[in-house]
Amino acid sequence: MELEFLLIVSLTPIISILLRYLIAIVAIAFFTLIERKFLGYFHLRKGPNKPRLIGIPQPFADAIKLFVKEQNKPTISNIVLFFIAPTLRLALAIAI
């Protein structure tokens, strides 16, 4: 009985944190949808409405596309330099 209580007490903060992150991620996805809709109306077009239900599934389609997209890595060139080069370019752009 006491072991179950300790397990529940120790897992409750973790579940709470994960639930908050999930809610934040979904909220950001729908804020992106609203932003796209407004930008579409500003440009005199409808915005993202290709998926069904007035574009509501669009954030989920964007998330799936982001996670399915693979990163191409060069086989012959220097891999470390390949990954560090964009950061160096940004640092130089900010420094100028």
Give residue 63's domain range: 2-71
The model's confidence at residue 1, banded by pLDDT at 50, 70 and 90, is low
Number of domains in the chain: 1
* Domain assignment present for 77: no
* Domain assignment present for 89: no
Residue-wise pLDDT tens digits, 47-89:
555 556 666 777 777 777 877 777 777 788 888 888 888 888 8
* Domain assignment present for 95: no
* Domain assignment present for 47: yes
* Domain assignment present for 51: yes
* Domain assignment present for 94: no
> pTM of the full predicted structure?
0.47
* Domain assignment present for 43: yes
* Domain assignment present for 61: yes
43 φ/ψ angles, rounded to the nearest 5 degrees? -95, 15
